[in-house]
């Protein structure tokens, strides 16, 4: 099962476009209203921002056959999507499922002969949609729309996930219904962060931790479950702090455009390349991708620079962001580490690795021997990247978009790093370009 997070923000997103608070000013990524696309055919919520978000992240909705609405609030129901589909002349059936408060908003957006099938559900129902077994669960949310908000337990032949937005602390009936589920992934809303005076229809950070603990107690969540916080707002602290707090529960914040693979989709560990310029947020994004892993090996290729106080401060800041459970290995000999990995790996970064190899082989002195040796090192690294038996994320600099370097050595480094980035990207499942702190997912073709 492949779940693409089209949005991970609350109704007002994060940052709120009208707000200048510290949290909004510190946001390094825009989070749109929460929604997800499963296997390209099933939409979990479809608010007004979801269709355009899908296109932004390189995903078509042409094959969508099922839409599950959790409730009728306007950030979760964007009925204009049905009109957009109508304009294409679609003839394939579309199941539109949800509580009455959501479906009633959609019916007038469908032409009489559109192949759209509305199915009203309530907590306790169980339905079959194509390849998916869907259980409808009670939420604690939405008294202003009739109290008919629901959550979804979605299972396929090889995976099972819980979509739990929007809701406050879960009703006892929901814990009973999910007991023993052993979900592959749980997407749980966490709207209010440190603000706790908001009522009972959303989670804050303490409530989120309590809910996750109870899901563990009833075996709905196991050590193998990916726990992703969604429906995030500016009531939360800046992302590095939020990531650290959520990691105490074995969770992490979701990111717009992120792809979560579970079940058979995880049979091959995912390889992700994160590119970006200086201070683009690439390292922080890469760390967030692995924040939910209990153990991570951090391959630091920059080494120690004696007497360089500014570099030492950079290293200190990076270390402070990382959980205590992460193992740091400072080395430029990364190929063997990749081949023998038994836990998730973060390689930061390919640019400093390449510099170290060029120094080792005295490329700066000129001649073909040094360049040939570096090319052999690149071959070895790409081979190890391909063979790595664990999930792996690499960070690299994008240096080819600026002015032409004035020196031959600068041009050589630029060219070799471009080759290295392209070869690693060709062997990666996901490639993300960070621009001004915002991640852009690069399609394969």
pLDDT tens, residue by residue, 86-131:
999 999 999 999 999 999 999 999 999 999 999 999 999 999 999 9
Active site includes 318?
Answer: yes
CATH classification for the domain delimited by 2-261, as one of 3.40.50.1100, 3.60.15.10, 3.40.50.2300, 3.60.20.10:
3.60.15.10
Examine the pLDDT at 264 and tell me if it is beyond 80: no
* Max CA separation in the chain (angstroms): 76
Examine the pLDDT at 184 and tell me if it is beyond 50: yes
Per-residue pLDDT, 291? 76
The highest-level CATH class for domain 271-442 is: alpha beta
pLDDT tens, residue by residue, 251-261:
999 989 888 88
Is-contact 361 370, C-beta < 8 A?
yes
Per-residue pLDDT, 309? 63
Per-residue pLDDT, 146? 46
- Of 231, 285, 318, 361, the catalytic one is 318
Examine the pLDDT at 374 and tell me if it is beyond 70: yes
**442 vs 81, more confident:** 81
Report pTM. Answer: 0.71
Listed as own residue / partner, the contacts of 277-282 with beta carbons closer than 8 Å and 24 or more positions apart are 277/397, 277/398, 277/399, 277/401, 277/434, 277/435, 278/397, 280/434, 280/435, 280/436, 280/437, 281/28, 281/29, 281/434, 281/436, 281/437, 281/438, 281/439, 282/349, 282/395, 282/396, 282/434
Per-residue pLDDT, 193? 96
Per-residue pLDDT, 367? 78
CA dist 134 and 145 (Å) reads: 23
Domains of the chain by residue range = 2-261, 271-442
CATH topology identical between 2-261 and 271-442: no
């Amino acid at each position: 099962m492949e779940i693409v997070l089209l949005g991970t923000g609350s109704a007002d997103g994060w940052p709120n476009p009208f707000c200048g608070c510290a949290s909004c000013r510190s946001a390094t990524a825009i989070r749109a209203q929460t929604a997800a696309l499963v296997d390209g055919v099933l939409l979990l919520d479809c608010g007004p921002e979801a269709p355009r978000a899908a296109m932004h992240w390189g995903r078509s909705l042409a094959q969508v056959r099922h839409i599950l609405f959790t409730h009728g609030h306007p950030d979760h129901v964007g009925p204009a999507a049905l009109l957009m589909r109508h304009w294409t002349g679609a003839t394939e059936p579309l199941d539109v499922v949800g509580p009455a408060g959501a479906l009633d908003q959609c019916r007038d957006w469908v032409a009489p002969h559109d192949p759209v099938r509305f199915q009203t559900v309530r907590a306790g129902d169980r339905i079959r949609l194509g390849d998916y077994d869907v259980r409808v669960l009670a939420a604690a949310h939405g008294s202003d729309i009739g109290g008919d908000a629901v959550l979804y337990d979605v299972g396929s032949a090889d995976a099972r996930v819980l979509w739990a937005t929007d809701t406050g602390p879960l009703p006892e009936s929901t814990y009973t219904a999910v007991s023993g589920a052993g979900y592959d992934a749980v997407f749980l809303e966490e709207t209010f962060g440190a603000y706790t005076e908001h009522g009972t229809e959303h989670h804050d950070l303490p409530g989120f931790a309590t809910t996750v603990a109870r899901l563990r107690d009833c075996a709905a969540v196991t050590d193998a479950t990916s726990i992703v916080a969604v429906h995030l707002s500016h009531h939360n602290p800046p992302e590095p702090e939020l990531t650290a707090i959520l990691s105490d529960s074995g969770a992490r914040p979701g990111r717009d455009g992120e792809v979560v693979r579970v079940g058979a989709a995880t049979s091959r560990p995912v390889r992700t390349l994160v590119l970006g310029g200086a201070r683009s947020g690439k390292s922080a994004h890469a760390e967030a991708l692995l924040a939910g892993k209990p153990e991570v090996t951090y391959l630091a290729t920059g080494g120690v620079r004696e007497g360089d106080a500014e570099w030492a401060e950079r290293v200190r800041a990076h270390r402070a962001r990382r959980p205590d459970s992460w193992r740091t290995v400072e080395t430029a000999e990364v190929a063997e580490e990749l081949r023998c990995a038994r836990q998730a790996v973060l390689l930061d970064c390919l640019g400093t690795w390449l510099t170290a190899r060029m120094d080792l082989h005295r490329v700066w002195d000129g001649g073909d021997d040094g360049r040939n040796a570096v090319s052999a090192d690149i071959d070895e690294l790409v081979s190890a990247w391909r063979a790595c038996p664990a999930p792996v994320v690499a960070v690299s600099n994008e240096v080819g978009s600026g002015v032409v370097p004035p020196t031959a050595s600068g041009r050589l480094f630029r060219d070799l790093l471009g080759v290295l980035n392209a070869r690693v990207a060709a062997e990666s499942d996901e490639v993300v370009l960070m621009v001004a702190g915002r991640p852009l997912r690069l399609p394969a073709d």
